[in-house]
Amino acid sequence: MDEAPNTLVTTYLEMTDPAQFRPAFSVDPAVTVRRAAMPDVMFYRTLYRGVGAAWRWRDRLLMSDAELAAALADPNCEVHVLYVADSPAGYVELVRTGHTVEIAYFGLFPAFLGRGLGKHLLSCGIERAWALGAKRVWLHTCNLDAPHALANYLKRGFQVFQIDEQPMPERYR
């Protein structure tokens, strides 16, 4: 893993109208997205590590199994898994608060990067967020995430509403 930069740059993006959404769905019948209605902690940690290890994701790894199980059991949390020929390839996690839906976690396993699957999975997540009755869909990304993440968000219709910079937290070094 490369050394982390000295500064963490976090970009916050949002959509406030479904008309902003520019979907890009795959037509490949081997590509599906299914909700994990009751994701268990071990399966979730596999998804989280598979997607986030390369990008220094730590937040969910710092949670106990009981804390994570409670977060996943929250009726306002949804985990949707991308499958390619029935193999997990990534996931999107949505968290609803009132009429706002956050795309809390999103990404692909490294073997599936560069195949156009990210725009499909993101489109599925955004579509589901609007179907949940959202008046606002938002997410954040940072300079530790996949290099094409920000471009994908912008192409799907998200708009930047805030950029924060801070010294790199120790947990990401």
> Cα 149 vs. chain centroid, distance in angstroms?
10
Domain 7-172 has CATH 3.40.630.30: yes
Confidence grade of residue 144 (pLDDT, cut at 50, 70, 90): confident
% of the chain with per-residue pLDDT over 70: 99
Stretch (H or E) spanning 164: strand 159-167
Position with higher pLDDT, 60 vs 138: 138
Nearest to 80 by CA among 114, 38, 111, 34: 34
| pLDDT for 58 | 82
Confidence of residue 5 (pLDDT cuts 50, 70, 90): confident
CA distance 156 to 107: 15
Among 67, 61, 64, 62, CA closest to 45: 61
pLDDT per residue as tens digits for the range 104-137? 999 999 999 999 999 999 999 999 999 999 999 9
What is the predicted pLDDT for the residue at 90?
97
Q: What is the pLDDT of residue 1?
A: 56
Q: What is the pLDDT of residues 150-163, one digit of tens each?
A: 999 999 999 999 99
Average pLDDT of the chain, as a whole number? 94
CA 108 to chain CA mean position, Å: 9
Are 59 and 67 contacting, i.e. CB atoms less than 8 angstroms apart?
A: no
- Closest by CA to 76, choosing from 40, 124, 126, 129, is 129
What is the C-alpha end-to-end distance of the chain, expressed in Å?
A: 10
So what's the pLDDT on residue 103? Answer: 98
- For the cut 60, the answer to whether the pLDDT of residue 31 exceeds it is yes
Question: In 16-124, where do the E strands start and end?
Answer: 31-35, 77-84, 87-97, 100-108
pLDDT classification of 170: cutoffs 50, 70, 90: confident
